[in-house]
Amino acid sequence: MHHFASKDGVLHAEDVSLAALADEVGTPVYVYSTATLTRHYGLLAEAVAAHRNALGDALIAFAVKANSNLSVLATLARLGAGADTVSEGEIRRALKAGVPAGKIIFSGVGKTDAELAYAVGVGVRQINVESPAELDRLIAVAERAGAVPDIAIRVNPKIGAGGHAKITTGGEGDKFGVPADEAMDLYARAAASPYVNPVGLACHIGSQITDLTPLEAAFQLLRSMTETLRGRGLEVTRLDLGGGLGVPYAGGAPTASIEDYVAMTARVLDGLGVEAAFEPGRLLAANAGVLLSRVIQVTEREDGRRFLVVDAAMNDLIRPAMYDAFHEVVAVSPRAAGGDNNPTVYDIVGPICETGDTFARDRDLPPLQTGDLVVFTGAGAYGAVMSSEYNTRPLVPEVMVDGARMAVIRPRPTYEEMLAREPLADWL
Ligand code: LLP
């Protein structure tokens, strides 16, 4: 559930009219709802707390890659969330937003020595090691730093899942993690080093997963590996279950609910006596954000095809171009009934010079004209974070709403600012 709803014929984010917001801040712009973020975090935290027996004092570490805006992170940090990070930049953001280092997990397939040293230096909760080569580098970094970081070994369970091949991470041929047998040897090797402290196992098999079966299989594997490692005299106290639970982009109820998901994890980990960690990104943020955009024009073809040309483009929201992702498009102020108000079929496109800049084809919408506003829903995760200035379009701004309050939490840069970032080569 989210807090974007129509009031008096105008779509609102909580108590803020998106029409008024567009007039004030301009478009395109991302708009986030505090109440929605809070609700999603609360549902997950409640479900996790209800299964404390099986999951221990579990950490919910928001996957910063999904939405790294400092105000979004600070909102979640105040609710008690930790952070799942994949770069020094993300660790810096999480710390700045008020996430304690002790709640920050550092994951990723290619952490540099400098990033590892930074993470060790600030004392993150845990570094998830993804390969033997990385373990060697981390041991060297930790020895130089005179620290003994807690680590988990990320397992590649050879179970891939997710909404698209490009966001499946746990498959055999995927670059992530260490196959189970090798992972257990690596765990033993880590335990033999005085410079790292292996505390657990981690996995993340993909994103936008709507069927719990592959997740359950992966968690079962983590359980049996834990038992095997303990049988070898090694201590395992934490299991990091990754993120991945999908959201209903087309509205309606999710195919796998938060409660079912958490109950499944509790069933699998029951009696194991580990502390679980969850790394949700999309689940918390996707439906807490929309991309608000204005219609530039409607281009009609003789064959009847209608292109709704909007001022947002693939540089602002790349998911349709990159993953063929579905985002619902909703008119902010559909005209009052009467007149020519029949739904019209549109292809919704941005202004960028490639056909990939097509958000949706053959969508039914109320009749729209130049100046009207639409939103792309489900855009709070992997939206603004993946934006760019392609075609020298200013980086899309972000706004946070809380009840009747709103704040610009990333302003749109001016053209002067954009051009000033590029000093000419001194011979030009
Ligand atoms: N943990 C790890 C180690 C991950 O690699 C990811 C996402 C997450 C957690 C969070 O997954 P989530 O709960 O959000 O599914 N840009 C793509 C999604 C890429 C996800 C990659 N890893 C998209 O727009 O669909």
DSSP 109-121: S---HHHHHHHHH
**Ligand 1 atom 24: residue of nearest CA:** 382
Range 88-112 average pLDDT: 98
Tokens read off for 338: 């009467």
**Atom number in ligand 1 closest to CA 382:** 24
- Please work out whether the CB of residue 155 comes within 6 Å of at least one atom of ligand 1: no
- Please work out whether the CB of residue 278 comes within 6 Å of at least one atom of ligand 1: no
Res 338 pLDDT > 60 = no
- Check residue 252 and give its pLDDT: 85
- Check residue 92 and give its pLDDT: 99
**Ligand 1 atom 9: residue of nearest CA:** 243
* Angle formed by the axes of helices 212-231 and 258-269, nearest 10°: 20
DSSP helix, strand, coil percent of the chain (3-state; round to 5): 35, 25, 40
Query: Containing H/E element for 156?
Result: strand 150-156
Q: Supply the DSSP symbol for 209.
A: B
Q: Supply the DSSP symbol for 168.
A: B
Active-site amino acid positions: 353
Q: Which of 340, 338, 333, 314 is nearest to 325 (CA)?
A: 314
- Cβ neighbors of 258 (< 8 A, separation 6 or more) are 43, 44, 47, 245, 283
| Strand residue runs (E) in 280-428 | 289-300, 306-310, 329-331, 344-349, 358-365, 373-376, 398-402, 405-410
Per-residue pLDDT band at 342 (split at 50, 70, 90): confident
Per-residue pLDDT band at 339 (split at 50, 70, 90): low
Give the C-alpha separation, 347 to 381, whole Å. 23
DSSP 78-131: HHT-EEEESSHHHHHHHHHTT--GGGEEE--S---HHHHHHHHHHT-SEEEE-S
**Ligand 1 atom 16: residue of nearest CA:** 382
Query: Containing H/E element for 239?
Result: strand 238-240
**Atom number in ligand 1 closest to CA 318:** 24
Per-residue pLDDT band at 331 (split at 50, 70, 90): very high
Tokens read off for 287: 């439906």
- Please work out whether the CB of residue 71 comes within 6 Å of at least one atom of ligand 1: no
Res 160 pLDDT > 90 = no
The reported pTM is 0.97
Ligand 1 centroid to 381 CA: how many Å?
9
Res 341 pLDDT > 80 = no
Tokens read off for 328: 């619902």
**Atom number in ligand 1 closest to CA 244:** 15
- Please work out whether the CB of residue 154 comes within 6 Å of at least one atom of ligand 1: no
- Cβ neighbors of 119 (< 8 A, separation 6 or more) are 88, 91, 106, 111, 127, 149
Phi and psi torsions of 415, nearest 5°: -60, -35
Ligand 1 centroid to 417 CA: how many Å?
31
- Please work out whether the CB of residue 170 comes within 6 Å of at least one atom of ligand 1: no
- Please work out whether the CB of residue 93 comes within 6 Å of at least one atom of ligand 1: no
Res 337 pLDDT > 60 = no
Range 154-173 average pLDDT: 86
